[in-house]
């Protein structure tokens, strides 16, 4: 590989042998041939090691996988085995978690517009509901028997993309502080507080400020109502590094920082320690996933731009188009070859904005090469679409040189099966 550091972005088990990229002991080109492309390859060892990093950095905490990052029964089964719970926000995500064998008491229920069925099912299985409005408090209390937290919006601006900030003033999520106080006044049986700063956080600042804020808020509630949170849920948000130019934090650094700050801040306010819940999504699954594409047309568009076109794009990974997310790539079948020039990796969709990578240095790509894009395990398949009637890719799990399909590839027949033609033939 031209720059061995690039391998740092890949799953724990990555290696290069005889010019071939290996994931979980399997050759990427073999995986591409066997399962077709695009395909998202998940490394089991990395999934497990990320889960363990959370449990080790926050002993005794409930670590609830943010299912929306990649709803997958197999992935949630692995996390359940490791002792994790799940954070879900729809009836669909709840079903994924339950079918993976997640115990109800390890489930945390979110959503800023929870449907009745979600509340009913959540109460039935003994999950912890995170209230998102005063109106919801009344619905939950009317149903009876619910365990719940109050989600509060501290008014802190996270340094992340606008679309994934959640704790600022005017956020559509959570209760503004005065409403959260009112919720606790009405419902002192609430078990605790929840806060989620935002996603793809690449700095500690906002997260630590939030922890201090929540301790002060808890002190105010104790003073007002003699109420103290038994549970504090700090949400998710640890960012992933997608290109070498982005900063990198380990789970250990981030979580120990948060846990230490929470203990200090609660101690300072004279509050008893609370049970901690964390809800990581992206940081559990993003680096475990690598998307493999097959190179098609290679086309010089101008003196400055040569397109390498792949057999997927914004349908399997909308993040570049939605958030200007950056990625890098390697040619899996010539992983140790020197790059010749910088290329633009374009998808196959009918949009000029369907560009996966603005600029990446590669050895001259040719039709049929396999392009591997690392750090694509989170919010890719989860946000995929069938735009241009392109069926969604498969996901496979690799471990010890063996690969198993964990989500089968969608087919054009799957898409056609939903259609209801009118009249005629």
Contact 418, 411 (CB under 8 A): no
- Measured from the CB of residue 212, what is the shortest distance to ligand PLP in angstroms? 19
Contact 61, 278 (CB under 8 A): yes
Q: Which is nearer to ligand PLP, 27 or 151 (CB)?
A: 151
- The DSSP secondary structure of 112-175, one letter per residue, reads SS--HHHHHHHHHHTPEEEE-SHHHHHHHHHH-S-EEEEEB------SS-GGGB-SSTT-SSSB
Spell out the residues 6+ positions from residue 14 whose beta carbon is closer than 8 angstroms to its own.
7, 21, 22, 23, 43
How far, in Å, CA of 152 to CA of 133, rounded?
Answer: 9
350 is annotated as an active-site residue: yes
Q: Which is nearer to ligand PLP, 257 or 296 (CB)?
A: 257
Contact 140, 184 (CB under 8 A): no
- Measured from the CB of residue 402, what is the shortest distance to ligand PLP in angstroms? 28
Residue written as token pair 């069926």: 391
Nearest alpha-carbon partner for 276 in 286, 289, 293, 263? 263
Q: Which is nearer to ligand PLP, 279 or 316 (CB)?
A: 279
- Measured from the CB of residue 86, what is the shortest distance to ligand PLP in angstroms? 10
- Other CB atoms within 10 A of residue 273 CB: 12
Contact 292, 332 (CB under 8 A): yes
Nearest alpha-carbon partner for 133 in 161, 100, 111? 111
Helix axes 205-225, 177-186, angle to 10 degrees: 40
Catalytic residue among 350, 389, 422, 425: 350
- Measured from the CB of residue 66, what is the shortest distance to ligand PLP in angstroms? 3
Interface ranges with ligand PLP (CB under 6 A): 66, 68-69, 87, 110, 196, 199, 235-238, 279-283
Q: Which is nearer to ligand PLP, 243 or 383 (CB)?
A: 383
> What does the block give as tokens for 113?
């517009």
- Measured from the CB of residue 184, what is the shortest distance to ligand PLP in angstroms? 19
- Measured from the CB of residue 256, what is the shortest distance to ligand PLP in angstroms? 17
> What does the block give as tokens for 213?
């804020």
Q: Which is nearer to ligand PLP, 110 or 147 (CB)?
A: 110
Beta strands (DSSP E) in 301-369 are 306-310, 330-331, 341-346, 355-362
Q: Which is nearer to ligand PLP, 11 or 280 (CB)?
A: 280
- Measured from the CB of residue 145, what is the shortest distance to ligand PLP in angstroms? 23
Q: Which is nearer to ligand PLP, 280 or 318 (CB)?
A: 280
How far, in Å, CA of 423 to CA of 3, rounded?
Answer: 59
Strand, coil or helix: what is 98? Answer: helix
Q: Do the bridges between strand 306-310 and strand 355-362 make them parallel or antiparallel, or are there none, so unpaired? A: unpaired
Active site residues: 350
């Amino acid at each position: 590989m031209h720059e061995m550091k690039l391998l740092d972005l890949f799953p724990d088990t990555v290696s290069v042998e005889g010019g071939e990229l290996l994931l979980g002991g399997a050759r990427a080109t073999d995986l591409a041939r066997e399962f077709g492309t695009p395909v998202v390859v998940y490394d089991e060892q990395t999934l497990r090691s990320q889960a363990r990093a959370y449990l080790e950095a926050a002993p005794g905490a409930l670590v609830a996988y943010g299912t929306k990052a990649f709803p997958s029964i197999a992935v949630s089964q692995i996390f359940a085995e490791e002792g994790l719970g799940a954070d879900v926000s729809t009836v669909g995500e709840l079903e994924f978690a339950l079918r993976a064998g997640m115990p109800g008491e390890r489930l945390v229920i979110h959503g800023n517009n929870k449907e009745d069925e979600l509340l009913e099912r959540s109460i039935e299985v003994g999950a912890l509901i995170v209230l998102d409005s005063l109106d919801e408090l009344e619905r939950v209390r009317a149903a009876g028997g619910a365990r719940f937290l109050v989600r509060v919006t501290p008014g802190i601006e996270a340094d992340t993309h606008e679309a994934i900030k959640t704790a600022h003033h005017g956020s559509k999520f959570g209760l503004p502080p005065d409403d959260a106080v009112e919720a606790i006044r009405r419902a002192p049986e609430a078990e605790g507080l929840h806060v989620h700063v935002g996603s793809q956080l690449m700095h500690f600042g906002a997260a630590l400020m939030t922890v201090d804020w929540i301790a002060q808020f808890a002190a105010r509630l104790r003073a007002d109502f003699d109420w103290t949170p038994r549970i504090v849920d700090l949400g998710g948000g640890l960012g992933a590094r997608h290109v070498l130019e982005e900063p990198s934090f380990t789970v250990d650094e981030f979580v120990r920082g948060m846990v230490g700050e929470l203990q200090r801040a609660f101690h300072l306010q004279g509050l008893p320690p609370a049970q901690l819940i964390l809800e990581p999504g992206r940081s559990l699954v993003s680096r475990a996933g690598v998307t493999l594409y097959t190179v098609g047309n290679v086309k010089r568009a101008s003196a400055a731009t040569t397109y390498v076109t792949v057999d997927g794009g914004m349908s399997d990974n909308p993040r570049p188009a939605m958030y200007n997310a950056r990625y890098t790539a390697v040619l899996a079948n010539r992983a140790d070859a020197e790059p010749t020039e910088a290329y633009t990796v374009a998808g196959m969709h009918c949009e000029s904005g369907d560009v996966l990578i603005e600029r990446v240095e590669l050895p001259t790509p040719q039709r049929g090469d396999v392009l591997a894009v690392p750090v694509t395990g989170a919010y890719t398949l989860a946000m995929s679409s069938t735009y241009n009637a392109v069926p969604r890719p498969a996901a496979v799990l690799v471990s010890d040189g063996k690969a198993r399909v964990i989500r089968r590839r969608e087919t054009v027949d799957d898409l056609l099966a939903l259609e209801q033609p009118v009249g005629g033939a």
